[in-house]
Amino acid sequence: MLDKNEKLLVLFSMCEISTKKQELLIEQLEEFSIDGLFKENVSLEILNREEYHKLCDIYDKQRFEMSLENMEKSNIKIITIFSSNYPERLRFLEDRPLILYAKGDLSLLDKLSIAIVGTRMPSNYGKIVTEKFAGDLANNGFVIISGLCYGVDAIAHRKTLDVGGKTIAVVGSGFQNIYPATNTSLANEIAQKGLLLSEYYPSFKPKRYTFPRRNRIVAGLSDGVLIPEAGLKSGTIHTKDFALEYGKDVFAIPGNISSTKSDLPNVLIKSAQAECTLSADDIIKYYGVEKEAKKERFLSLNMDEQVIVNLLTQGEKDFDYLAEKSKIPVNILNSCLTTLEIRGLIRKLPGKNFALV
């Protein structure tokens, strides 16, 4: 149940009122009901007349309460600065969002996390290293955070889900207007298996300024930011700047010096603004993470998968050996091996051989 101040923040987000003005209004209206907001002598001290009239046009008590009910039916959780479950990593930031809309697992906000951000048009090298780092970090218990854009963002989210990891997508729009629209199905999957997050009301359409604003949340929620590939004019610079401002760790993957797509990570490494990172193990060791996450994933295997893993603990085995010893039908064995490989627990070797990672 939302209190008065929380309802006010929902209303302000519907009207696209700036965070600074929201804070001033909450302070002014401390002794008023929501209806007190529509007394001109209160609101017009802070809002311009256009904003005031927009607020009056939008607010209808019955319709407003219905919109809150609809969000609840859509499994959209509302978190405000007044909520006990507001992310502690954001709470004391000067430019914190006062309200967040969420779909999915809120417990991920408290876990060790790395933001992976970069160019919307990665090279083949950029795609490979993004997949490699996202998969390896997710397999070692890191929550992967990104912004659901084209390129590096989407690759990081996708790979994390493919290996059974957890990911948070912070979007620069409302949930009903995911941008880019081609990532809508990915957003829905993240809401089911991870966490989808936005500071914008569900029907809000993306605008040019919302993406740099979104980047402060990506940086603020993470323990560190990893940049696989980005140019010197990339929006990734905003995320890097926020990360450094907030005292977060910044990691960069070195790339081809003749490729403009590697300019930002190379420059950050050269200027000592980022840690040079050659493998996910560098980040894992940096945070002192033990590989307990892998043990936990072994515990979640089904019976057939567990039989295969037990056979592979004896060393590298070929497909025929696994089929003979496990007594698992060939079609199911193929499916299990593929699943274990995607989850990063086994690797396929030449000659239809398999081994534990």
3-state secondary structure the chain: CCCHHHHHHHHHHHCCCCHHHHHHHHHHHHHCCHHHHHCHHHHCCCCCHHHHHHHHHHCCHHHHHHHHHHHHHCCCEEEECCCCCCCHHHHCCCCCCCEEEEEECHHHHHCCEEEECCCCCCCHHHHHHHHHHHHHHHHCCCEEEECCCCCHHHHHHHHHHHCCCCEEEECCCCHHHCCCHHHHHHHHHHHHHCEEEECCCCCCCCCCCHHHHHHHHHHHHCCEEEECCCCCCCCHHHHHHHHHHCCCEEEECCCCCCCHHHHHHHHHHHCCCCEECCCHHHHHHHCCCCCHHHHHHHHCCCHHHHHHHHHHCCCCEEHHHHHHHHCCCHHHHHHHHHHHHHCCCEEEECCCEEEEC
CB 356 within 8 A of CB 309: yes
Which residue in this structure is represented by tokens 């050996």? 321
Amino acid at 70: N
The encoded tokens of residue 102 equal 């969420």
pLDDT at residue number 4: 81
pLDDT per residue, tens digit, the chain (357 aa), is 788 888 889 988 988 888 888 888 887 766 556 666 666 556 667 888 888 878 877 777 788 889 999 999 999 999 999 999 999 899 888 889 999 999 999 999 999 999 999 999 999 999 999 999 999 999 999 999 999 999 999 999 999 999 999 999 999 999 999 999 999 999 999 999 999 999 999 999 999 899 999 999 999 999 999 999 999 999 999 999 999 999 899 999 999 999 999 999 999 999 999 999 999 999 999 988 755 555 566 667 888 998 898 888 778 899 999 999 899 999 999 999 999 988 888 989 998 999 987
Tell me, what's the pLDDT at 32?
Answer: 54
In the prediction, which pLDDT does 50 show?
A: 82
Q: How far is CA 304 from CA 59, 300, 323, 346, 348, in A?
A: 57, 12, 11, 14, 18
pLDDT at 65: 87
Alpha-carbon span 180 to 55, nearest angstrom = 29
pTM of this prediction exceeds 0.75: yes
